[in-house]
Amino acid sequence: MVSPGPLVKGHEKLTTDCFACHSAWRGASTSRCTECHAVADVGLKTTTGVPIPLRTVKVSFHQQLVEQDCMACHSDHQGPKLTKRSRKPFSHALLKVSVKDQCSSCHAAPKDTVHRDIKLECSQCHGDKAWKPAQFDHKLLAPAVLDRCESCHSAPTDRLHRQIQASCKSCHKTDGWKPATFDHDKYFVLDRDHQATCETCHKNNDYSRYTCYGCHEHSEAKVRSEHLEEGIRDFTNCVECHRDPRAEPEKRGGGERGRRERE
């Protein structure tokens, strides 16, 4: 007889004893497995009766399987060296409902902030084939959590978002961060003096940044000089003070001069 490959660790002593696992004309069978591995002890004790340390045992789910068929999940020979190691995928369908619905009985419960505030069954977002990707519906969240995006997501730190005090849902939707809607009537009115295309102020399709230097005879040097005279050093964030071109600039150290120039 020719062995299809080396045995897994723990069965090395059976390398020359094929009939320890195989029956003539029938192949390997679960009945041979249980001659050494008592079902009640699988995952809890070794074949010699030595207890397995608890730190290596997640749950004795072998006792909760619908059918005690070792061959459904386990294969012994590791296959030829030129091929990948032989292994059979585990199917959650083999578990009893009482165990299958309690993921934490086998898997460690996630401790991150996203899962901490969610009181849902794992199956409402995750499949039993793999943990990722997950299908998440924000509607499953409690209202108090739904209105606090930063409890799960990192708050954006770019210049555009720093100047906006509105909630995320004013521009963004829960099914995707992009595309976003931005209402200039709330934050920077595009009136008759600002009838411009997006590209006039936003360059290279980067809508998180803008420039006012292309209009009103503005230049970085001139803007810098005028604002420094008034003690204003953050002169790149125009809309923070000039939110509405029809209104007077907000007081930010140099507000008086701005009003005199308009008059």
Q: Tokens standing for 100? A: 């299958």
- Identify the pLDDT of residue 261: 39
Q: Tokens standing for 22? A: 């195989």
Dihedral angle, C-alpha 127, 128, 130, 136, nearest 10 °:
20
Global pTM value: 0.47
- Identify the pLDDT of residue 249: 57
Distance CA 153, CA 113 (A): 9
Least confident of 43-47, 95-99, 168-172, 176-180: 95-99
Q: Taking residues 130-158, what's their average pLDDT?
A: 81
In this predicted model, which residue has the larger pLDDT, 214 or 57?
A: 214
With cut-offs at 50, 70 and 90, classify the pLDDT of residue 134. Answer: confident
- Identify the pLDDT of residue 110: 85
Looking at residue 133, the DSSP 8-state letter turns out to be: S
pLDDT surpasses 80 at 225: yes
Q: Which amino acid is at 220?
A: E
Label the pairing between strands 27-28 and 22-23: antiparallel
Instruction: Write the DSSP string, 147-210.
Output: T-GGGTSPPP-SHHHHT--S-GGGT-BTTBS-S----HHHHS---GGG---HHHHS-TT-TT--
The pLDDT tens digits of the residues spanning 43-100 come to 788 888 888 776 555 556 677 776 767 877 777 776 555 445 445 677 787 777 777 7
Distance CA 235, CA 218 (A): 12
pLDDT surpasses 70 at 244: no
With cut-offs at 50, 70 and 90, classify the pLDDT of residue 255. Answer: very low
